[in-house]
Amino acid sequence: MDVDIREVTVPAEDIMQWLVLAVAYFLLILFAIGVLDLCLQLVFLVQSGQFTDPVAVVNLLDSVLLLLILVEVHRTLIAYARDDPVLQIVVSTAIIAVARRVISFRPEAGVNGQETLFIATAFSVLVLTLIVGYFMLNRVDIER
């Protein structure tokens, strides 16, 4: 009795696609909640007069970047469910995530200037590497 492995794996692939779509819809709900929260944060900043406070603005920007990460992960899931290439989306998500970390970076107490410079250099190298990788992916036609 010969069993074709492709026939046996079809149900598992179908179930995985449905589960990926379920997670994509869950992220859509999280995104909607995040947009509502962002609006409430903005109203609070304006009402309290803190909209000129740099820390408050950075925290608001951090929320916006987190929402962008949710959008990119959602795009990744949809592309995966459609069996489209996802590498470029994953790299763009990584760029946003690292940019979010860079923007919200504050040296901890007890960290000297040399360690802070090392961390900043590491972030710079990481961001530049991701950007170069992103542009290389744009130039190369990925075959399936």
**pTM for this entry:** 0.76
State the Cα–Cα distance between residues 125 and 120, nearest whole angstrom: 9
Domain boundaries, the chain: 5-139
Instruction: List the chain pLDDT tens, one digit each, 144 residues.
Output: 677 888 888 888 889 889 999 999 999 999 999 999 999 999 999 999 888 888 888 889 889 999 999 999 999 999 988 888 888 889 989 998 998 888 888 777 667 778 888 888 999 999 999 999 998 888 876 554
